[in-house]
Structure 1
Amino acid sequence: MQKKNLKKTYKFAIKTSLYVTLFVTLLVSVFLYYNNALNWEIIFFPLICFSLSFVIIQFRVERFIYKRVKKIYDDLTLLESVDLRQQPITTDMGTLTKEIDKYAKDKKIEIETLKVREEYRKEFIGNVSHELKTPLFTVQGYIDTLLDGGIDDEKIRKKYLNRASKGVERLTYIIKDLDMITKLEVGDLSLDKEHFDIVKLVQNVFELFEMKAAKKSITLTFDIDYTEPVMVYADVERIQQVLTNLVVNSIKYGRKKGTTEVSIENLIKNKVIVRVTDNGEGIKEENLPRLFERFYRVDKSGSRKEGGSGLGLSIVKHIIEAHEEKMYVESEIGVGSEFSFTLEKAK
């Protein structure tokens, strides 16, 4: 164990020596006065008394306090308090009390943070288990049916193999999304930035999902006619993934005969903000802070019917943060939601 330096303090010894000197001097003076032995030499007595008292008190108290304080520091060191390990041991009770209070507060915050993380970990593992279990058991059920004799019936064979294939696709989709998030979090996914027209990219996404939107009579539109290109500097493939997730979500949770509107506005000199707004069902305020967590679903039943890995918004947030940009969300129940993110303008 690393040997600690002793940080000496003299306040206690000085004050105590002063009190002892005053008290003893007063007693001796009174005694000498009543015995008619009081003379000018008494002035040396306080100096001698103070010096002796200070040395004795400082030496004895220092040893006494040091032994006990060192034990406290050693006990805290076992709990790996870096701050306390690096500081010298102080024999001043006031300083020690402050250090212990600060240590206790820091540990309390650390414990509360660990509890929150532990709850998040448990919930995350439960969600991963559920998301993987559903398609896995589905695939297993279809395969078991085929093995039990269904394979001899051509119609059943084709039908169940197609369904099993969809289950495997869903499993692959979830695993790929998890892998992407992990790479984004550790900074292992490099961005291939280039200059491109964000207006054209939005149009491409609209074209990809116009059939999906048409099934719910949802209109995909810009807020205005963009006659000029809006050039930005980013990874075009990743930003398309962001727009895809946001547009698909707006269709998923949008109302029939509703609208998904995209606007591109100048934010500051070198930034634009892209907004994806719908007039769908909206999101409750208490759900907004957790909206970008992995597998977090606002509507536990409805969202599962719609499919998806439950990782879309988490991926969106990580992609935007990988670009060192900001992601925003505003929503009101019964009115709709707006997801927006910033991008760097092309120079």
Structure 2
Amino acid sequence: MNRRSLSIPITLAVVMIVLLIVLTFLWVMITVRQAIDNDSIFYWILLSVGAALFLVILVGVIMYLTLSIKAINISRRQSNFIDSVTHELKSPIASLKLYLQTLTRRRVSAAEQDEFYQCMLEDVNRLDKLINHILDAARLDRDKREDTIEEFSLDQLVQETVETARLAYRVAPECVAVKTISCKMRASIVDMELILSNLIDNAFKYAGSPPEIQVHMQPLYKGRMAIRIADNGNGIPKKHRNRVFARFVRLGSELKREKPGTGLGLYIVRTLVKKLKGQVRIRDRQQGAGTVFELSLPVINQATPPHLIPSNEAANKTEG
């Protein structure tokens, strides 16, 4: 299906519904009049059957409208995905080709070689990340991921993921604020790495200039831990906050895209967080522009802080 405007199926469906209602109304009026004039039960039976058929046709038209809109939205998302993947593939390949041609056609100094190799390695890592994103999304759709459940330090994983992203985006340490709380989690560490790396990577990618990244952990009730990842970018409008977690969704047009991506990252995050019996949501920053992604995850060996314990429980613990 090609890219099309939603106005065509919507207009067509509305016209069909209006015509159907008008024709049905006229038919009902004529049938009722004939039934009254002829005093025959046949016309009343005909009226009942016609009304039932009208409802069936009306439901069918509404279903057609709904399915058409869904199909066009899916087509748009898939087209955006193809555009983004094409760009993400062509850019590093063109860069690698240029560096290799330069190395083979003329002599370069050792310092230039090291710089070229570093740039080529970054391009390869970019391709590797893209391929892994697509493969991870495909595995999630088919539910073929083999999980290894293990106990690991969540705070250490958060710190390592933030530092990896900071180095990759070459952001100064003073632009990143990390506050962790020692706790352990029992889950698939691969899944948790994917969740954190996608959210933290987004924070660095869409941060303002100069970037301000905040990653804070805060204990919640009943053995749960909150992880808040904030940036100072443009933010996500409230009307799009549920939509961005869908597959292939990226806000804006791929033809005017400035940031790399495929529209799969947040879909992977939402799917894996649900799998871990957690929650993810988007909030506004309390001060300034930007976005806050908030995770709520089950953890182990984490006592609830005194200020979070309800008064009756605190009194019982004090008496004991």
- TM bucket normalised to smaller: 0.5 to 0.7
Q: Which residue of 1 aligns with 2:7?
A: none
| TM-score normalised according to structure 2 size | 0.64
| 1:331 partnered with 2:284 | yes
Q: Is the 8 Å Cα contact of residues 230 and 293 (structure 2) preserved in structure 1?
A: yes
The Cα shift of 1:201 comes to 3.1
Q: Which residue of 2 aligns with 1:139?
A: 96
Structure 1 residues 19 and 129 mapped into 2: Cα distance closer, same or farther (>3 Å)? Answer: same
Q: Is the 8 Å Cα contact of residues 77 and 248 (structure 2) preserved in structure 1?
A: no
The Cα shift of 1:196 comes to 3.7
CA distance in 2, matches of 1:18, 1:312: 66
CA distance in 2, matches of 1:263, 1:334: 20
Q: Is the 8 Å Cα contact of residues 280 and 293 (structure 2) preserved in structure 1?
A: yes
Q: Which residue of 2 aligns with 1:171?
A: 127
Structure 1 residues 244 and 163 mapped into 2: Cα distance closer, same or farther (>3 Å)? Answer: closer
Number of positions where the alignment pairs a residue of Structure 1 with one of Structure 2: 263
Secondary structure in 2 matching 1:92: helix
Sequence identity (%)? 19
The Cα shift of 1:277 comes to 3.1
Counterpart AA for 2:298: E
Structure 1 residues 275 and 171 mapped into 2: Cα distance closer, same or farther (>3 Å)? Answer: same
The Cα shift of 1:179 comes to 0.7
Structure 1 residues 185 and 102 mapped into 2: Cα distance closer, same or farther (>3 Å)? Answer: same
Gaps of 5+ in 2: 1-32, 302-320
CA distance in 1, matches of 2:163, 2:95: 32
For CA contacts below 8 A with separation 6 or more, give which structure has more relative contact order. 2
**1:38-67 Cα shifts (integer Å, max 9, x gaps):** xxxxxxxxxxxxxxx98xx79xxx9xx9xx
Mapping for residues 187-202 of structure 1, pairs under 5 Å: 187-202=143-158
Counterpart AA for 1:109: T
- CA RMSD of superposed structures (Å): 4.1
Structure 1 residues 310 and 154 mapped into 2: Cα distance closer, same or farther (>3 Å)? Answer: farther
Q: Which residue of 2 aligns with 1:315?
A: 268
| 1:184 partnered with 2:126 | no
Q: Is the 8 Å Cα contact of residues 192 and 235 (structure 1) preserved in structure 2?
A: yes
Secondary structure in 2 matching 1:181: helix
CA distance in 2, matches of 1:144, 1:238: 39
| The one of 93, 107, 110 aligned to 2:50 | 93
Gaps of 5+ in 1: 1-14, 22-52, 66-89
CA distance in 2, matches of 1:211, 1:127: 24
Counterpart AA for 2:288: G
Secondary structure in 2 matching 1:103: helix
Q: Which residue of 1 aligns with 2:83?
A: 126
CA distance in 1, matches of 2:157, 2:63: 48
Larger Cα Rg: Structure 1 or Structure 2?
A: 1
